[in-house]
Structure 1
Amino acid sequence: MSWYNEAIFYHIYPLGLTGAPKENDYGTPVHRLNTLLPWINHIKEIGCTALYIGPLFESVGHGYETTDYKKLDSRLGTNKDLTNFVKACHEKGIRVIFDGVFNHTGRDFFAFKDIQKNREHSPYVNWYCNVNFGGNTEYNDGFSYENWGGYNLLVKLNQRNPEVQNYICDVIRFWVSEFDIDGIRLDAADVLDFDFMRILRHTADEVKKDFWLMGEVIHGDYSRWVNGQTLHSVTNYALHKALYSGHNDHNYFEIAHTVKYLQNMGDLDLYNFVDNHDVERIHTKLQNKAHFAPVHVLLYTLPGVPSIYYGSEFGIDGKKEKYSDASLRPALDLNDYADAATKNPCTALIAALGKVRQGTPALSYGSYAELALTNRQFAFARDLEGIRVIVTVNNDDSDSEMNLPTGSAQEYVGALTGQKVSAQGGRIHVRVAANSGEIWLPAGDMPEYKPVQTNVPETAAAKENENAASEAEEEQAAENSTVTEAAPEKEASNAENTDKASDNTANSADVPSTPEAESSNPQETETVTAPNPHKTPEEMTVGELQAAILAKMAGNGPVDDQMKKTVYDNIWHDSLVNWLKSFR
């Protein structure tokens, strides 16, 4: 196995955390990256073993409109600063991956500037998609071109051009030789050309042992991207949605169903998260702030690689704004959180979970087995080489008792509370506190941990939820009377509650959703007839693309309701075009 199979990631958006100006004047470098050096100790202290940081390279604004792939953004410092930063991380045992924005460049990128200057005579005309000298843009370039997401600020690279492929591969080699990075997160991977990704994977395998490629993918069958030829992992937006809505709706069926759905895709080590630089903070999304605890217990124990977005370990808020993601990417002073690991219950929980995860191989490599499930209680096992680790979570305002099958161990200890229980007849009877979770480890086989205070203090919002909870007491009693799998109608009902506004704005650029995404209704697309066979994928509407994809799927075998939902949930035109083209 590789380092990333056991990793616990910390995610930093450096332009935000350092308080860099929103616009780059390309002036004298300001060494803001060096202010992040103290964060390395903090990252290690809370149990994280890897850092995803980016975007880092010279750009005009939010970082995803790249001007120079080989120069640290002037607002952050110099290449020497970045080399020293990665070295400092490695000295603390922390791996580092960068943001690779290879789908598009900014308008200040050298190749685009040359086209502006030399027009048809530029040697870089074919570096971009569909450059048309008979068109124009709002910038009055005197030509038009294909962009990302409808924004001409982001010029789409022609990933099928060998010169572009060689250039990007050279960038990867440069990043490894210059900065000694351990992997790359590919921005907008759901619209990257698959042959291009195969080339990137070949380069990754060459430059460094266990070099990790992880892609940003919003919707779809993740196994299309995660395999031996393309990427090692992708962002797990399916679980992200289930973790917050499953708690807000008191519906653990949604989470359990999502885990099964993901497991049916194969043995994929997905990048799990509850928030990032594109979506609202988990503390903001949760209607009952006390659910911070069970959400993170699940994040650290379900199959996949867990990740914490900077500041969320302190329980900070961040709300999605219509035209800006600035509130999701704030500047923070680490001195304001100097004692957080011992005094802030959110941070103490994250640190405890990091310690448990690092000392419990079953949470990285173990198989998954559902043990008990109701709307408000959920238990599962992670089994590895005869050792069974049991995880229990409770989203109810009252304590709950659970009777669960064990492995061969005669005694279990709660890693977060220190509670010990003896097995009787191959089962343990445990009490799970209200709005909390626990990780039960076989006593003697696993290290025991000093219990920490992990309950998140109630807030005004949590108090308000008490009223709603009390109104549902009768329903809760009925739900808790049986342990069963979710009824199809319950799953379908909750699937319709997807927070489209949040998930659909999980874009790589600091821009609002595309107009087409905002106007598309996944439910309406179910009635779309077969697309015009004379249209190219780029010419098709979202509905036609969805219909074409389903037709391709049907040609390969039966198409079930979950497969249909996956297609209809994807309302991104570029992503659907790439999906349709991936069928051979």
Structure 2
Amino acid sequence: MRWSDYAIWWHVYPLGYLNAEKSEISEGQPQHRLQELAERLDHVLELGCNGLMLGPVFAAETHGYDTIDHFRVDPRLGTEDDLIHLIEQAAAKGVRVLLDGVFNHVGRSFPQFADVARQGDSSPYADWFVREGDDFRIFEGHRQLVALNHENAAVADYVTSVLDYWLDRGVDGWRLDAAYAVPLPFWRTVTDRARAKHPDVWFSGEVIRGDYTSYVTEGGLDSVTQYELWKAIWSSLNDVNPHELAWALGRHDDLLATYAPQTFVGNHDVTRIASQLTEPRHLPHALAVLFTVGGIPSVYYGDERAWRGVKEEREGGDDAIRPAWTDGGDEETQRLHQLLIGIRRRHPWLVRATTEVHSLGNGVLSYTLTGPEGQGVAVALNFGDTPATAELPSRPWHAEAGDTNADLSAGEVALAPFGWTVATA
């Protein structure tokens, strides 16, 4: 198993977490805020995570996904020395660090684009971008986000140099933003080049739609975000429809035959899971699924405290899901995270384990996962508000989370309304 198979990420959006200014600092001294993240590493470990997945940290115009310099740390966060110090402190504690690489598009004040805007086709960077009408190709209707020309070899050279620069400085891998918008041959080119120098690097691509597996087999990535499973978890619980989740788990098993998807119930782009669920008693169900099914899970900062926040489709609509860190929130939910992550830590084979469904219907779903040496994890969930019974294979199960007094000896388990159990054998 590679180191990434043991990874459980704590995902942070630094500009929000550190309460940085909303737009770039053009004058004045850098704000050395990254040390605050270094001081939170013990929280990462206490939670049970061993990876720090950082959102954008490079110089940008506003929200970080409008990068203007991939070789410079955003002054709102600090300096290169601050970032390297964070990486070194994380490594000393056994915490891996993942950077967010925005390589599909750039901000309009990105120097190469600014030169094109001044000089037009006479600029040496004219073919870094694609003209469309009287402007240039942009990302999904956002004029401030100018798409790079991924057919240009010089762009591939530039991205490779960025990957290598920060890998040389100790980062362990990259989250590739908007990976679905970039041609697969481009990803294959830059990931192959990076691996030639850094064979242990891990690449996870943001893929919202499309053929997930092709980004691994053709694009050279190691993993992609599992949005299908994310949607099925909260949607099936809200609709009290375990069939939707069971179908998604089947799809998930198909992906596991090729790679371990990057799984989540929250990130910087979606409504927080505590707000997404219409019934608060469903939150443990969502977490039980996240931490038992195959894949490489992440926890979005604050979700371990059941923070709430709704994403809105408007300017500033992400602010509610990207707030500054506070120590407030539901400590019981944090203890539940610790309990479930602890179970996963004791069963690292879960990273590529597939599910076998035993009960499905009437608001009930139960499934098991089996390890290479016969180890077992069983999950039984009652989505509904009436008592129910779920079937499980007869084994000497030991209930470790949820209803820990559940009797599983007879090949079934009685579940209270909204009840759930995670057991091991």
Alignment TM-score, normalising by the size of structure 2: 0.94
Q: Distance in 1 between matches of 2:348 and 2:405?
A: 21
Q: State the Cα distance separating 1:85 from its structure 2 match.
A: 0.7
Pairs within 5 Å for 1:204-223: 204-223=194-213
The amino acid of 1:101's aligned partner reads V
For residue 388 of structure 1, what is the aligned residue in structure 2?
A: 376
Per the alignment, in what secondary structure is the counterpart of residue 307 of structure 2? coil
Structure 2 segments unaligned to the other structure (5+ residues): none
User: Which residue matches 2:391?
Assistant: 403
| 3-state secondary structure, aligned to 2:217 | coil
- Indicate whether 1:193 and 2:145 are aligned: no
Q: Determine helix, strand or coil for the equivalent of 1:218.
A: coil
Secondary structure at 2:39's aligned position in 1? helix
**Residue equivalent to 1:115:** 116
Q: Aligned partners of 1:356, 1:236: CA distance in 2, in Å?
A: 21
Query: CA deviation digits over 1:374-421, x for unaligned, max 9?
Result: 242111111112222211112223443333214xx5x22111254375
* Match among 161, 169, 174 for residue 184 of structure 1: 174
Q: Which residue of 1 aligns with 2:418?
A: 435
User: What is the SS of the residue equivalent to 2:150?
Assistant: coil
Report SS of the residue matched to 2:203: strand
Contact 2:358/2:391, CA 8 A, preserved across alignment: no
SS at match of 2:40: helix
Residue of structure 2 equivalent to 1:150: 141
Identify the match of residue 233 of structure 2 among 214, 222, 243: 243
Q: Distance in 2 between matches of 1:386 and 1:279?
A: 37
Which residue in 1 is equivalent to 2:6?
Answer: 6
Would the aligned equivalents of 1:204 and 1:212 in 2 still touch at CA under 8 Å? no
Amino acid at match of 2:420: G
**Distance (Å, rounded) in 2 between the aligned partners of 1:59 and 1:375:** 50
Residue 25 in structure 1 maps to residue 25 in structure 2: yes
Q: Do 2:11 and 2:301's aligned partners in 1 also have CA atoms closer than 8 Å?
A: yes
Deviation at 1:347, TM superposition (A): 0.8
Q: 2 CA distance for matches of 1:383 and 1:204?
A: 35
Contact 1:291 1:436 (C-alpha < 8 Å) held by counterparts: no
Contact 1:234 1:270 in 2 (8 A): yes
Kept in 2: contact 1:362–1:389 (CA 8 A):
no
Partner of 2:351: 364
Distance 1:394 1:207, change over 3 A: farther
SS of corresponding position for 1:389 = strand
Q: Which amino acid aligns with 2:227?
A: Y
1:373 shift after superposition: 1.1
Q: Name the SS for the 2:42 alignment partner.
A: helix
Instruction: Check conservation: 2:103, 2:176, Cα contact below 8 A.
Output: yes
Q: For the Cα contact (< 8 Å) 1:125–1:131, is it kept in 2?
A: no
| Counterpart Cα distance in 2 of 1:243 and 1:207 | 39
The separation in 1 between residues aligned to 2:67 and 2:31, in whole angstroms, is 18
Quote the offset at 1:174 in angstroms.
0.2
- Separation in 2 of the partners of 1:307 and 1:101? 19
Structure 2 counterpart SS, 1:415? strand
How far apart, CA to CA, are the structure 1 residues paired with 2:420 and 2:258? Answer: 25
Larger radius of gyration: 1
Whether the 8 Å contact between 1:421 and 1:428 is mirrored in structure 2 is no
| Equivalent residue in structure 1 for 2:313, among 310, 314, 322 | 322
Q: Report the equivalent of 1:301.
A: 292
Q: Are the counterparts in 2 of residues 99 and 184 from structure 1 also a CA contact under 8 Å?
A: yes
One-letter identity of the residue aligned with 2:365: F
Q: Could you tell me which residue of structure 1 aligns to residue 283 of structure 2?
A: 292
Q: Distance in 1 between matches of 2:155 and 2:258?
A: 32
State the 1:228 CA deviation.
6.5
State the distance in 2 between where 1:319 and 1:30 align: 29
The counterpart of 2:272, out of the listed 274, 277, 281, is: 281
Q: How many Å separate the matches in 2 of 1:418 and 1:87?
A: 40
Structure 1 residue identity aligned to 2:375: I
In 1: Cα distance, 2:391 partner to 2:140 partner: 50
> 1:256-275 CA distances to partner (integer Å, 9 max, x unpaired)?
01111233354331111112
CA distance in 1, matches of 2:362, 2:108: 50
Name 1:224's counterpart in structure 2.
214
